[in-house]
Amino acid sequence: MCLANCVSEIPSCCNGKKGGRVYKPSCNIRFEVYPFYAEASQPPPSPPTNATPPSSPSPPPPPATLTNSGGNRKISPETIITSTVPAALVFIIILSASCYCLLRRKEYQVAKEGNGGNEIFVVESLQLDLHSIIAATCNFSEGNKIGEGGFGSVYKGTLHNGQMVAIKRLSESSGQGLEEFRNEVALVAKLQHRNLVSLLGFCAEEEEKILVYEFVPNKSLDYFLLDPGKQRQLDWLMRCKIIGGIARGLLSLHEDSKLRIIHCDLKASNVLLDEDMNPKIADFGMARICGVDQSQGNTSKIVGTYSYMPPEYALHGDFSIKSDVYSYGVLILEIISGRKNSSFYQSDYAEDLLSYAWRLWRDGTPLELTDQTLGISFHRNELTRYIHIALLCIQEDPADRPTMAAVLLMLSSFSVTLPLPKRLAFCSRSKTGQSRLAVSL
């Protein structure tokens, strides 16, 4: 049918011409008045002997011309090449770019979802072999152990290049499984802030899960809070420095990262102190990742340290950036009082540090909360303001708690007027181990 249509158009486009070609989408036809096929294999017949030779050679056949279906305009091969080659190149470039983008998107999605059992999606250069870890710690010798907890042990080590590191060796009985381990590696490897601990490497071989951090010589904050002798090293200026540094580290997690990170386990033992007593937030095994436009979520797996948990998380599994704000408020009260919330028992009317601080505030005597080792080295108004900020951070309703950006502004500027804190609701555990919510009067 296509060829028949081509033939039917020859009279209208090529009548009286020596040759031509008609194109259709699925076929084309060409004709000439001289043989244009198999010329090399079939030489022209020789003229008869009595024929008179021509006075001049016949002119060569005219070059083939291409016509459109209307027959009014000739299209040369050069025109076709000039128009089709650039279009073909553009098509190839677009196709290649599309394939590349699809491939990268697929690789990113696989890395983000982390579907591969024991795979750890981090920069390969961070992975260390187990033999180098064993050599750095003298086979995890007791002399190199600098800390121990429910997660496992921490050892001081020296890498082959002479760099001192802190090596966290997770125990099999730790609450941090492979999923939390992979989570911590992927998170901390991307975090860069002076108030966040730096991850230098990791190892996952022979059932071992090991994290290699920068070495922080002054251990953790709870090391100072629990030791009466060490408490005296923390004067009021030093405690203000630590409170402000923790706030900046949290703000970096909540606002300055490409993804919003909720720590979910902020506590004194997870705040390390460097040689200048600058605080560094550590241990991101329980952290939650949210999108930049997401600030809350829910989980049925409630993990963390109970004495730092906000009521909505302990009772219902609801977490948000305001969960970290609550834990931060608990930390401020611990730093000011020199006491741990988990081991505080003042009286039958104050079963934890938070309710005790609220009763003192309500009675107009907040400075009675102050650590006695501080003496008179503090400014009364400044310390009272810090207690005020802490009470705002531990409000029952997350909406009543300030953001970390607002907290930093409150800490640095006395011109910012603070709202009055509402009476607190605090969580406690019954003798059966169940959580309950109580309201401080």
Clarify whether residues 231 and 347 are in a common domain.
yes
CATH assignment of the domain containing 299: 1.10.510.10
* pLDDT greater at residue 348 or residue 97: 97
117-173: per-residue pLDDT in tens?
333 444 466 889 999 999 999 999 999 998 876 677 899 999 989 999 999 888 776
Band the pLDDT of 377: cuts 50, 70, 90: confident
Last residue of a domain, which of 215, 233, 255?
A: 215
**CA 121, CA 202: separation in Å to the nearest integer?**
12
pLDDT band for 358, please (50, 70, 90 cuts): very high
Residue 104 lies in a domain: no
Q: What is the DSSP letter of 69?
A: T
Tell me how crowded residue 400 is: count the other CB atoms within 10 A of its CB. 14
d(CA 386, CA 337): 12
pLDDT value, residue 437: 52
Residues 183 and 308 in one domain: no
Catalytic residue among 265, 283, 318, 324: 265
Q: Which residues contact 198 (CB under 8 A, 6 or more apart)?
A: 188, 191, 192, 213, 214
Do 265 and 369 sit in the same domain of this protein?
A: yes
Among the residue ranges 54-63, 140-149, 191-200, 243-252, the one predicted with the least confidence is 54-63
Q: Over the chain, what is the mean pLDDT?
A: 79
Domain-embedded: residue 51: no
Q: How confident is the model at residue 361 (pLDDT cuts 50, 70, 90)?
A: very high
DSSP 116: S
Q: Clarify whether residues 138 and 75 are in a common domain.
A: no
Task: Kindly indicate the confidence band of residue 227, based on its pLDDT and cuts at 50, 70 and 90.
Answer: confident
* Structure token pair of residue 82: 């000039």
Higher pLDDT, 281 or 206: 281
Tell whether 164 and 268 lie within a shared domain: no
pLDDT at 207: 81
Domain that holds residue 165: 120-215
Cα–Cα distance, 19 to 31 (Å, whole number) = 5
204 and 262 share one domain: no
The β-bridge partners of 302 are none
Last residue of a domain, one of 181, 215, 249: 215
Average pLDDT on 42-64 reads: 53
Instruction: Please check the confidence at residue 228 and state whether its pLDDT lies above 70.
Output: yes
Better-scored residue on pLDDT, 366 or 318: 366
* pLDDT beyond 80 at 292: no
Is residue 138 assigned to a domain? yes
Which of 34, 116, 22 has the alpha carbon at shortest distance from 69?
Answer: 22
- pLDDT, mean of residues 372-401: 93
On whether both 249 and 324 belong to a single domain, the answer is yes
**Residue 262, domain member (yes or no):** yes
End of a domain among 215, 239, 274? 215
The answer to whether residue 265 is catalytic is: yes
- Which residues are within 8 A (CB) of 365 and not within 5 positions of it... i.e. 6 or more apart? none
Q: Which of 282-296, 299-313, 408-422 has the lowest mean pLDDT?
A: 282-296
Residue 175, pLDDT > 80, answer no
Q: Into how many domains does the chain fold?
A: 3
Q: Provide the residue count of the chain.
A: 441
21 close to 29: Cβ distance less than 8 angstroms = yes
Q: How far apart are CA 103 and CA 116, in angstroms?
A: 18
pLDDT of residue 112: 47
Which comes out higher in pLDDT, residue 148 or 42? 148
Task: Tell me: do 23 and 125 sit in the same domain.
Answer: no
Amino acid at 132: S
Between 269 and 183, residue with greater pLDDT: 269
What pLDDT is attached to residue 255? 87
User: Is position 49 within any domain?
Assistant: no
Residues 17 and 72 in one domain: yes
Q: Same domain, yes or no, for 204 and 241? A: no
Q: What is the dihedral of CA 85, 86, 89, 90, to 10 degrees?
A: -150
407 and 266 share one domain: yes
pLDDT, average across residues 20-34: 73
pLDDT, residue 117, reads 39
Residue 58 lies in a domain: no
Same domain, 378 and 283: yes
Task: Evaluate if residue 7 carries a pLDDT over 70.
Answer: yes
With bands split at pLDDT 50, 70 and 90, how would you rate the model's confidence at 51?
very low
- The least confident of 135-149, 169-183, 193-207, 291-305 is 291-305
> What is the pLDDT, as a whole number, of residue 47?
53
Ranked by mean pLDDT, which of 224-233, 327-336, 412-421 comes out on top?
327-336
CATH number, position 179:
3.30.200.20
